[in-house]
Structure 1
Amino acid sequence: MRILDMMTFVALARHRHFGRAAQELHTTQPAISIRLAAMEQEFGCKLLHRTGRDFGLTPAGERVLQTFRAILLTYDGLKQELADDPTLSRKVVRIGAIDSVSSTWLTPFVENLHFAFPTLKIEITVEATKSLIAGLSNGELDVIFAVDPAIGDSFRSFSACVLQMTWAGSPRIIDPDRTYSVDDLAQMPIITFPKDTPPYRMIAPYFQDEQVLADKLTSSNSLYSIINLLIDGFGVGAIPTVTIKRELKMGLLHPIRVSKRFPAMPIIGSYQADTQVELMRLVVEQARQSAAQFCATVDPSMAWVD
């Protein structure tokens, strides 16, 4: 359970209004609703009962409120102690992530770190897997979230989450009611990441013959560029489903029914194990929690913790 979630629930109980709670916490009403849903799922019970625009706390919600208030009181005291500690105020954590992480759970992860360690300085780099591993190896990054792990005696790795991949394309060029074979897809323009990247290594075996891709391939190292190319009808692509939720809902993209499912993509965290050992342990713990909490808010078929 995050400090941010506790603060959200206490603000909701105080204001009895989602909009005013969101305003106090400098966020949006949907973000408040997502946090509440995650808390209720974690506790396994309803914390609020709603009647129209009004709501009150359930008996379980009253117990949770009392506990959260006590924890936050202790937390505020600890935060003040840490703020007065000059050794902690100088610490920096340098985080690297691929686009698929930056567009999903990187923001709540950074929020969690800020709430847990108010004086910690955070630097973020968004790059491809190969560049992130190089940055970690060169000592330019402390922790990365990519498709491949960093290999070496000074590194440790862990599974953060798994993202399901979906073939998708513009409704202008695909038939959502048709089931496409591998050969059918091979006849279409394909948009993917560059040849030396992990996502491409997943695409090539899917077709069993790299030559199939030679004349049909458009590549980009940016997830956002790939999504825009798909929307504009330049081709089809296999992409993490959760990163195009909005586009699928709006009908800008359609999932392609395929006879051969594309494999899911793991997100692997790797970090420096020999420096700032205690800080890195806490950062990794926050990363695990943030990824798990994000997965709990989306369709389980899109993202999950392995």
Structure 2
Amino acid sequence: MNLRFVEAYYWAVSLNSVTRAAEKLHITQSALSSRIAGLEAELGAALLDRRSRQFRVTAAGLRFHAFAQQLLTLQRQIKSEMGGDAPAAPVQLRIGAIESVVHSWLTGWLQQMRRSHPDFQLDLTVEMTPVLTDQVARGSLDLVFAALPAGGAGMRVRPLPDMEMSFVGHRALHTRRRYTLDELAGFDLMTFQRGSQPHVALLELFRRAGTALPRVHSISSISAMSQLVEGGFGIATLPRAAAERLARHLPLKTLRCDTGLTPLTIYASFRDDPGSVVVQSVLDAAVAYVGTDRKPSKK
């Protein structure tokens, strides 16, 4: 049995789309359809119902999908066990991340990955959470780090350590040792896009304190927010780790406040499929790095 045909069918059903499966496997739709047709001919059974314009799987197709996952998993295990002294195949992953992750720990972790896996190959997509969760659910990405978990059948989610959030101002303009919410309300505040967890949490913070809501600007880019703070436009709410890194070459400082911001929870989402063993191994390395990176250094 041609496992390339099995793989084509597995992904078409898992992603509920011939188009998405073809994109994932980097082949044309016609080539993928041809592989499925070849598999059907070998099995002597129709796996897809082609009478409908919608993507539908037959009863035989549903049964075979479970076998397909087992076959592909076994193939990966055999390659791993029987590889012997052969050089390991390059680790190739399509990873997505929100800007908070990129500006906090992603670079350090990728450098560590490159040292431990010299052949590690990365396709990185930096986007907002809704885009990333949609892409991993559609099979366009293998692993995403976002502020919300991805939903849908076959998805696996793992929470990562929360990110501490802080108010970030200009070193020369915001010189108080500590600020109250009333004092911060006198400035223009910047946070992430409307409806995001940091945006909602910031507004709720002022509501709970009974403080008049300040002018809050929604900006999706950390780089843009840091440049606006540098230009004296206002105060931003950023992950503390990102702010501390930016402060190394920009006149930024984290501001102490009587009331703390709600931490930002990060979720890793990936699809449970025959390749998830590799993804989980990479994710374990990311979790271990984040845990180490958050520990205070000894002086």
Measured against the shorter chain, the TM-score band is 0.5 to 0.7
Assess if the C-alpha contact under 8 Å between 1:165 and 1:263 holds in 2.
Answer: yes
User: What amino acid maps onto 2:189 in structure 1?
Assistant: I
* Displacement after TM superposition at 1:279 (Å): 1.2
Structure 2 residue 133 is the aligned partner of structure 1 residue 133: yes
User: What amino acid maps onto 1:165 in structure 2?
Assistant: M
Measured in 1, the distance between the counterparts of 2:131 and 2:84 equals 35
- Counterpart of 2:167 in structure 1 is 167
- Counterpart of 1:82 in structure 2 is 87
Give the direction of change, closer, same or farther, for the CA distance of 1:170–1:114 in structure 2 (3 Å limit).
Answer: closer
Assess if the C-alpha contact under 8 Å between 2:98 and 2:129 holds in 1.
Answer: yes
* Displacement after TM superposition at 1:189 (Å): 0.6
Assess if the C-alpha contact under 8 Å between 1:176 and 1:255 holds in 2.
Answer: no
User: What amino acid maps onto 1:181 in structure 2?
Assistant: T
Measured in 2, the distance between the counterparts of 1:252 and 1:277 equals 43
Assess if the C-alpha contact under 8 Å between 2:95 and 2:144 holds in 1.
Answer: yes
Q: What is the TM-score with the length of structure 1 in the denominator?
A: 0.62
Give the direction of change, closer, same or farther, for the CA distance of 1:280–1:255 in structure 2 (3 Å limit).
Answer: closer
User: What amino acid maps onto 2:162 in structure 1?
Assistant: V
- Counterpart of 2:218 in structure 1 is 219
Structure 2 residue 96 is the aligned partner of structure 1 residue 122: no
* Displacement after TM superposition at 1:251 (Å): 7.7
Structure 2 residue 230 is the aligned partner of structure 1 residue 231: yes
- Counterpart of 1:268 in structure 2 is 267
Measured in 1, the distance between the counterparts of 2:260 and 2:152 equals 33
* Displacement after TM superposition at 1:140 (Å): 0.9
* Displacement after TM superposition at 1:119 (Å): 4.3
Measured in 2, the distance between the counterparts of 1:166 and 1:269 equals 23
Measured in 2, the distance between the counterparts of 1:192 and 1:147 equals 14
**1:222-266 deviations in Å (ceiling 9; x for gaps):** 111111111211001221111121454678123323221112222
Give the direction of change, closer, same or farther, for the CA distance of 1:127–1:279 in structure 2 (3 Å limit).
Answer: same
User: What amino acid maps onto 2:130 in structure 1?
Assistant: K
- Counterpart of 1:252 in structure 2 is 251
Give the direction of change, closer, same or farther, for the CA distance of 1:298–1:127 in structure 2 (3 Å limit).
Answer: farther
* Displacement after TM superposition at 1:126 (Å): 1.1
* Displacement after TM superposition at 1:116 (Å): 4.4
Instruction: From the CA coordinates, give the structure whose radius of gyration is larger.
Output: 2
Give the direction of change, closer, same or farther, for the CA distance of 1:296–1:259 in structure 2 (3 Å limit).
Answer: closer
Measured in 2, the distance between the counterparts of 1:185 and 1:131 equals 32
Measured in 2, the distance between the counterparts of 1:119 and 1:274 equals 23
User: What amino acid maps onto 1:240 in structure 2?
Assistant: P
Amino-acid identity (%): 24
- Counterpart of 1:190 in structure 2 is 189
Aligned residues: 215
Assess if the C-alpha contact under 8 Å between 2:181 and 2:211 holds in 1.
Answer: no
> SS in structure 1 opposite 2:87?
helix
Assess if the C-alpha contact under 8 Å between 1:143 and 1:271 holds in 2.
Answer: yes
Gaps in structure 2 of 5+ consecutive residues: 1-82
* Displacement after TM superposition at 1:123 (Å): 0.9
Give the direction of change, closer, same or farther, for the CA distance of 1:246–1:93 in structure 2 (3 Å limit).
Answer: closer
* Displacement after TM superposition at 1:167 (Å): 1.1
Assess if the C-alpha contact under 8 Å between 1:165 and 1:265 holds in 2.
Answer: yes
User: What amino acid maps onto 2:284 in structure 1?
Assistant: E
**1:115-138 deviations in Å (ceiling 9; x for gaps):** 444445321111121211111122
User: What amino acid maps onto 1:236 in structure 2?
Assistant: I
Measured in 2, the distance between the counterparts of 1:108 and 1:147 equals 20
Moved more, 287-296 or 137-146: 287-296
Measured in 2, the distance between the counterparts of 1:251 and 1:278 equals 41
- Counterpart of 1:287 in structure 2 is 286
* Displacement after TM superposition at 1:172 (Å): 4.3
Assess if the C-alpha contact under 8 Å between 1:202 and 1:263 holds in 2.
Answer: yes
Measured in 1, the distance between the counterparts of 2:239 and 2:252 equals 13
Give the direction of change, closer, same or farther, for the CA distance of 1:217–1:118 in structure 2 (3 Å limit).
Answer: same
Q: What is the TM-score with the length of structure 2 in the denominator?
A: 0.63
Assess if the C-alpha contact under 8 Å between 1:176 and 1:254 holds in 2.
Answer: no
> SS in structure 2 opposite 1:254?
strand
